[in-house]
């Protein structure tokens, strides 16, 4: 079992992620003599903004809160990259023959003016707005269209995890027991059906990151052991679908993750439980749909949930969430921590089920009390 005496602080960013961001910085390109000095300066400025770790980790959240509460953070990353090329469409020249132009790679099909305005507002680069620098907008879509199915050490919240006999779910966040000896254990929180295989597992069973469906293999991807779970009843009312795994502190980190341009970005959520209210804007980071934003549209829900194998379980006092831009969750996102979008990102629920465009979460206070844990 993991050594409870080996608990250590994992507050700092993953050095490999920081290095990856730093490596995006590029020198002023050469070989395009007909590209103006102003255009090259604009290219450098945009490149530096894209590679700035401070912007990458902080700007999307700030922008989402100020521009469009409830929006998908990733939708705010309109300009995903910048390059240098030549006019290739004779019906829509952006520069004279043989001249270079700046290429803006975008996540959405936006006009040139919209892309230029975004570069000005988000990156502080206003030179393109003068109209003197040739610009071509290339709609690539999300360049980082990948899910959180990779192996990560230390593993943050939001990545694939699972009992060795299931497919995969999501590592929600870190926790510790409220009383000895569990108060000296580093725990990860997720669902019973993710870590305990719907009551079929036993404490001490191996937990993998990533989960088996994402390539997790016993002996290679072990991250910990099943520590505790709340049994799901198929005859009585349930209030939670939750479990904890005991992990080596060196294999996890307290932040949650999302991908931006293929690079993991980490952020913290609060640790003090908050009660969900109708209309509250919430977020989650999950294995399948990554970082999504939704709105609480109901509380005190009573639902019948298909737990597999023809077994139906009744859950009461659940939180109902609807995604704002697309689904809030899909299969594999079970176990994600749900938190209020604004303020301190206080935790409000543990995602466990979904149907159609609606997602359901256990109230986080019930989860913590049932497992006798606190978030860290």
CA 252/CA 173 separation, integer angstroms: 9
**pLDDT over 80 at 148, yes or no:** no
**pLDDT over 90 at 16, yes or no:** no
Q: What is the mean pLDDT of the chain?
A: 80
Least Cα distance to 153 among 92, 88, 220 occurs for: 220
Query: Of the ranges 6-20, 197-211, 234-248, which one carries the lowest mean pLDDT score?
Result: 6-20
Alpha-carbon distances, residue 36 vs 27, 41, 42, 102, 116 (angstroms): 16, 9, 10, 11, 18
Q: What is the pLDDT of residue 60?
A: 36
Q: What is the pLDDT of residue 171?
A: 97
Q: Are strands 135-139 and 100-106 parallel, antiparallel or unpaired?
A: parallel
Of the pLDDT bands very low, low, confident and very high (cuts 50, 70, 90), residue 105 is confident
Residue 107 burial by CB count (10 A; 0-12/13-18/19+): exposed, middle or buried? Answer: buried
pLDDT higher for 12 or 241? 241
Question: Looking at residue 309, what DSSP letter applies?
Answer: T
**pLDDT over 50 at 31, yes or no:** no
Q: Per-residue pLDDT tens for 186-233?
A: 999 999 999 999 999 999 999 999 999 889 999 999 999 999 999 999
CA 320/CA 122 separation, integer angstroms: 33
**pLDDT over 50 at 26, yes or no:** no
CATH of 155-375, one of 2.40.10.10, 3.40.50.620, 2.60.40.10, 3.30.2310.20: 2.40.10.10
**pLDDT over 90 at 55, yes or no:** no
Of the pLDDT bands very low, low, confident and very high (cuts 50, 70, 90), residue 258 is confident
- 293-316: average pLDDT: 88
Q: What is the pLDDT of residue 34?
A: 64
- 357-362: average pLDDT: 89
User: What are the residue boundaries of the structural domains of the chain, listed by start?
Assistant: 31-139, 155-375
Give the sign of the dihedral formed by CA 30, CA 32, CA 33, CA 36.
negative
Let me know: does 148 contact 257? Beta carbons within 8 Å: yes
For 135, what's the count of Cα atoms within 13 Å in the CB-facing half-sphere? 29
CA 186/CA 174 separation, integer angstroms: 7
Q: Per-residue pLDDT tens for 149-177?
A: 777 789 999 999 999 998 899 999 999 99
pTM of the model: 0.65
Q: What is the pLDDT of residue 181?
A: 96
């Amino acid at each position: 079992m993991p050594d409870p005496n080996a608990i250590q602080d994992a507050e700092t960013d993953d050095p490999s992620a920081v290095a990856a961001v730093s490596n995006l910085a590029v020198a002023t390109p050469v070989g395009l003599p007909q590209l103006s000095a102003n255009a090259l300066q604009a290219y450098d400025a945009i490149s530096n903004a894209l590679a700035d770790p401070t912007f990458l980790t902080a700007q999307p959240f700030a922008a989402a809160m100020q521009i469009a509460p409830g929006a998908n953070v990733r939708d705010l990353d309109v300009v995903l990259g910048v390059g240098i090329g030549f006019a290739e469409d004779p019906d829509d020249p952006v520069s004279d023959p043989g001249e270079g132009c700046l290429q803006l790679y975008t996540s959405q099909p936006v006009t040139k003016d919209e892309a230029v305005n975004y570069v000005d507002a988000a990156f502080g680069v206003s030179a393109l707005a003068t109209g003197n620098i040739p610009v071509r907008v290339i709609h690539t879509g999300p360049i980082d269209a990948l899910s959180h199915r990779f192996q990560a050490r230390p593993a943050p919240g939001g990545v694939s995890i699972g009992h060795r006999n299931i497919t995969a779910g999501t590592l929600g966040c870190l926790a510790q027991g409220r009383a000895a000896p569990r108060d000296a254990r580093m725990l990860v929180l997720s669902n019973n059906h993710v870590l305990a295989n719907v009551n079929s597992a036993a404490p001490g069973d191996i937990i993998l990151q990533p989960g088996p469906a994402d390539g997790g293999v016993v002996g290679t991807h072990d991250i910990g052991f099943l520590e505790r779970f709340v049994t799901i009843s198929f005859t009585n009312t349930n209030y939670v679908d939750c479990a904890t795994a005991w992990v080596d502190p060196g294999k996890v980190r307290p932040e949650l993750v999302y991908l931006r341009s293929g690079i993991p970005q980490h952020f913290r959520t609060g640790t003090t439980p908050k009660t969900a209210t109708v209309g509250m804007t919430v977020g989650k980071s999950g294995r399948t749909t990554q970082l999504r934003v939704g709105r609480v549209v109901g509380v005190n829900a009573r639902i019948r949930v298909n737990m597999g194998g023809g077994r139906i379980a009744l859950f009461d006092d659940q939180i109902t969430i609807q995604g704002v831009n697309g689904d809030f969750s899909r299969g594999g996102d079970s176990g994600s921590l749900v938190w209020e979008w604004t303020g301190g990102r206080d935790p409000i629920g543990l995602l466990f089920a979904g149907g159609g465009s609606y997602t359901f979460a256990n109230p986080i206070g019930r989860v913590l009390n049932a497992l006798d844990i606190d978030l860290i």
